[in-house]
Amino acid sequence: MKILITGGAGFIGSHVVRLFVNKYPEYNIINLDSLTYAGNLENLKDIENAPNYAFERGDITNEKFIDELFAKHNFDGVIHLAAESHVDRSISDPNQFIMTNIVGTVNLLNAARKSWNQDLENKRFYHISTDEVYGSLGDEGLFTEETSYDPRSPYSASKASSDHLVRAYYHTYKLPIVISNCSNNYGPNQFPEKLIPLSINNIKNKRPIPVYGKGENIRDWLYVIDHANAIDLIFHQGRVGETYNIGGNNEWKNIDLIYTLCEIMDKKLGRAKGESAQLITFVKDRAGHDLRYAIDSSKIQKELGWKPSLQFAEGLEKTVDWYLNNEDWLNHILSGDYEKYYNQQYHKR
Ligand code: NAD
Ligand code: DAU
């Protein structure tokens, strides 16, 4: 099996690449990534010399490059994670989200279609998507696979658009696709623009922790390795043409999550109880901020026997430990364009 994983140098992609390279020595894993600000080959240092792994640097928006890559490798399967993934960036600058998330996905679909032609036996195009395509929940209810799409940010609209195109290629051309929509991931290697790693970094450096609005928004958090395990199961056993929701059954108000993180870090950093929480700073809300996401993951649980393996307290502690023990990884990111982005995003508020 020759498998193309796109976005493998990013947060979730790097965990998926590692899992596949280690678990399936008989597969050839090709990681395609253009190394945007979010792509980091340091995430894959431990497996970069594995005999069943190769890295290709390239942009999924480049149609010619993608066609040539498929012609060169004859992939049997695609696991597509490459995307612009940060909601705040999509609000300040939507265009790249349209290019990568929509046009890039179509380039991959077309290349797979051409490459596989009529020989679709044992082929699979797996598109990784998000629960944000379903919009925002009130106090009650869960997103199921039947929930209507109602995306509300340029990011989620671009992901919703790509999901529709992937399904259209199944219905129109019989391309053997599968899609999963997952809730918020956390864990090692997440870029520190997202809530948890940004807060860990700010607490560590005694910088204000920016909480949007009143911190009342709710997210359903899942440890990234549990997501990678779900992706493995769906890639191998998910039914063609189907969608699977993946979630942690683990809803937290942002403000409660941040207080918990502060408590963990007070202990780890030898600070007085309550010291880190003094850094909490309420800032202007995100435009169009979705109130609540929560996933009903009973389909993948029943059909494929998946369930989250970690309790949140354990996962958060492991995550904090990882960031405290990997200062070099963080410092390399912080020394790049990060500070410029940070100032643009937070000092205008
Ligand atoms: P990320 O931003 O950490 O990584 C994205 C990767 O894609 C980076 O390595 C980047 O270099 C690469 N990339 C971006 N544009 C590219 C292009 N034009 N060509 C080639 N490579 C490109 O993202 P993530 O958080 O790991 O998310 C991965 C996927 O999972 C995305 O599709 C996202 O929508 C989805 N997802 C994320 C979450 C989450 O909580 N992070 C939850 C559900 C679904
Ligand atoms: O639900 C899945 C999605 O989760 C993925 O599709 C996205 O790629 C991923 O980025 C994530 O989106 P969110 O917008 O939910 O994640 P983020 O970490 O940006 O924000 C989590 C919550 O915290 C959200 O309610 C906004 C809030 N927040 C975020 C930041 C960065 C703050 O209060 N302050 C902040 O500084």
Q: What is the pLDDT of residues 156-199, one digit of tens each?
A: 999 999 999 999 999 999 999 999 999 999 999 999 999 999 99
Tens digits of residue pLDDT in 215-272? 999 999 999 999 999 999 999 999 999 999 999 999 999 999 999 999 999 999 999 9
**Nearest ligand to the C-alpha atom of residue 280:** 2
List pocket residues of ligand 1, CB cut-off 6 Å.
7, 9-13, 33-36, 38-39, 59-61, 81-85, 100, 104, 128, 130, 159, 182, 184-185, 191
What is the rounded distance in angstroms from the CA atom of residue 217 to the CA atom of residue 231? Answer: 27
User: Does 207 sit in the ligand 2 pocket, CB within 6 Å?
Assistant: no
pLDDT at 330 over 70: yes
Is residue 270 in a domain? no
Q: 61 CA distance to ligand 1 centroid (A)? A: 14
Is residue 72 in a domain? yes
Residues 80-113: b if buried by 16+ CB within 10 A, e if exposed: bbbbbbbbbbbbeebeebbebbbbbbbbbbbbbb
Is residue 229 in a domain? yes
CATH code, domain carrying 134: 3.40.50.720
- The ligand 2 atom at the shortest distance from the C-alpha of residue 220 is 1
Average pLDDT over residues 56-75: 97
- Domain coverage including residue 14: 2-190+221-251+292-310
Among 83, 67, 89, 63, which Cα is nearest to 9's?
A: 83
What is the rounded distance in angstroms from the CA atom of residue 156 to the CA atom of residue 143? Answer: 15
Say if pTM beats, i.e. exceeds, 0.75: yes
Which residues, including other chains, have CB under 8 Å from residue 247's CB and lie 6 or more apart? 131, 143, 182, 183, 220, 222, 294, 295, 296, 297
Which one of the listed residues 53, 155, 169, 323 is annotated catalytic?
155
Any idea which residue has 């990884």 for tokens? Answer: 329
- The ligand 1 atom at the shortest distance from the C-alpha of residue 99 is 18
Is residue 323 in a domain? no
- The ligand 2 atom at the shortest distance from the C-alpha of residue 211 is 33
Residue 27 known to be catalytic: no
pLDDT at position 310 = 92
**Nearest ligand to the C-alpha atom of residue 193:** 2
Per the structure, the count of domains in the chain is 1
pLDDT at 106 over 80: yes
Is residue 341 very low, low, confident or very high in pLDDT (cuts 50, 70, 90)? confident
Is residue 25 in a domain? yes
Any idea which residue has 């408590």 for tokens? Answer: 263
Residue 131 known to be catalytic: yes
Is residue 332 in a domain? no
Is residue 274 in a domain? no
pLDDT at 142 over 70: yes
A 10 A CB-CB count for 4 gives 25
Greater confidence (47 vs 339) lies with 47
Residue 132 known to be catalytic: yes
Backbone angles phi, psi at 27, to 5 degrees: -90, 155
Kindly report the average pLDDT of the chain as a whole number: 97
pLDDT at position 259 = 98
Percent of the chain with pLDDT over 90: 94
Is residue 349 very low, low, confident or very high in pLDDT (cuts 50, 70, 90)? low
User: Does 31 sit in the ligand 2 pocket, CB within 6 Å?
Assistant: no
Is residue 83 in a domain? yes
What is the rounded distance in angstroms from the CA atom of residue 144 to the CA atom of residue 17? Answer: 28
